[in-house]
Amino acid sequence: MFVPFLTRLLPNFATSKIRHMKYLVCISKAPDTTTKITFTDNNTKFAESGVQFIVNPYDEWYALVRAIELKEKNGGTVTTITVGGAENDPIIRKALAIGADNAVRIDAPATDAYFVASQISKYATENGFDVVLTGKETIDYNGSQMGGMIATLAEYPFVSLATKLEFEGSKAIIEKDVQGGVEIVEVNTPFVLSAAKGMAEQRIPNMRGIMQARTKPLTVVAATDCDNLTEVVDYELPAAKGDVKLVDPNNPEELIELLRNEAKAI
């Protein structure tokens, strides 16, 4: 009596518990965090020469690593997607070395968020991805815009600023930052999330990963037509600070005095 019951239960259990998710992780390049920022061509272009590029930290440490962890735990595939030219290939290989299975690059300059989002949303919907992950923001453009735009164009729900992601079958349980606190939400696939600190820990690729990354597929796809809705006119650097005014450590009253009457800050 017991055995037929189990065999009846098991297939169901298997299909509801183990879903092989297709993860799409949006990866962008960013100047290394120690880069001194300068501009050329009459302040219209970021001076890229000599700059060391890295995978945007939020994309790498949080979105990518969490997708890989979930794949390792529950099965599935992790694909990275990048909109940009061939100069992105080194950081894409880094993502493959960390553990992504394959990569897609949409070959067009990423100059406008709406343009990039429409390329990614089209790729995500046409290829049936279950979860699209972006970083919370890029550390160069600081837009925090891609996730929401991709979700809206794909007509998928958007979970912003996610700090934890777990699955129960095809249902995701996500902890996220909201105004004034945190929230735990539940959403079915497909959906888009932007990843913030807390999702995962940084992973340093090992030698085996680096070797394997060389032969993992990186597919280059042509972009589809789409308008650029914004453009950068030019850049500026902040005005240099004057010299620091030092105060005697034994006389913090003087600091209070300066903050109150000179800086008018307290």
Partner 1 sequence: MSVLVFTDSLNKEITKSSFEAVVYGAKVASDIGTSCIAVSYGDVTESSLSALGKYGALKVLHDTSIASGDIQNLHLLVKQACEKESSKVVVFGLDFTGKSVAPMAAAALKAGYISGAIDYPSSYQPITVKKNVFSGKAFANVQINTPVGVVAVLPNSVKITTTDASASIELFKATLPGSKIKTLETKLKGGEGVTLTEAEIVVSAGRGMKGPENWGDVEELAILLGAATACSRPVADIGWRPHHEHVGQTGVAIRPNLYIAIGISGAIQHLAGVNGSKIIVVINKDPEAPFFKAADYGIVGDAFDVLPKLVEAVRKLKAA
Ligand X SMILES: Nc1ncnc2c1ncn2[C@@H]1O[C@H](COP(=O)(O)O)[C@@H](O)[C@H]1O
Ligand Y SMILES: Cc1cc2nc3c(=O)[nH]c(=O)nc-3n(C[C@H](O)[C@H](O)[C@H](O)COP(=O)(O)OP(=O)(O)OC[C@H]3O[C@@H](n4cnc5c(N)ncnc54)[C@H](O)[C@@H]3O)c2cc1C
Residues within the interface to ligand X (CB under 6 A)? 26-28, 56, 58-59, 81-84, 110, 113, 116, 134-135, 137-138, 141-146
Residue with Cβ nearer partner 1 (4 or 242): 242
Q: How far is the CB of 251 from ligand Y (least distance, A)?
A: 17
Q: 37-42 — which CB contacts under 8 Å span 24+ positions?
A: 37/237, 38/237, 39/234, 39/235, 39/237, 42/234
Q: How far is the CB of 55 from partner 1 (least distance, A)?
A: 13
CA distance 60 to 73: 19
Q: Which does 225 bind (CB under 5 to 8 A by kind): ligand X, partner 1, ligand Y, none?
A: none
Contact track, partner 1, 61-100, x by CB under 8 A: ----------------------------------------
Residue 93 CB contacts under 8 Å (≥ 6 apart), including other chains: 213, 214, 218
Give backbone dihedrals phi and psi of 219, rounded to 5 degrees, phi first: -95, 130
Residue with Cβ nearer ligand X (233 or 246): 233
Q: Which does 232 bind (CB under 5 to 8 A by kind): partner 1, ligand Y, ligand X, none?
A: partner 1
What is the dihedral sign for C-alpha 203, 98, 137, 168?
negative
Q: Residue 148, Cβ neighbours under 10 Å: how many?
A: 17
Residue with Cβ nearer partner 1 (18 or 263): 263
* Span 224-253, contacts to partner 1 by CB under 8 A: 227-238, 241-242, 244-250, 252-253
Cis peptide, bond prior to residue 109, ω within 30 of zero: no
- Tell me the C-alpha to C-alpha distance, in Å, between residue 179 and each of 146, 196, 198: 20, 14, 17
- Tell me the C-alpha to C-alpha distance, in Å, between residue 41 and each of 30, 45, 46, 48, 233: 20, 6, 9, 12, 12
| Listed ranges 73-81, 83-91, 102-110, 176-184: which one lies at the site for partner 1 (CB under 8 A) | 176-184
Q: How far is the CB of 182 from partner 1 (least distance, A)?
A: 5
Residue with Cβ nearer partner 1 (52 or 250): 250
Q: Site for partner 1 (CB under 8 A): which residue of 91, 159, 165, 200?
A: 159
* Residue 139 binding partner 1, by CB under 8 A: yes
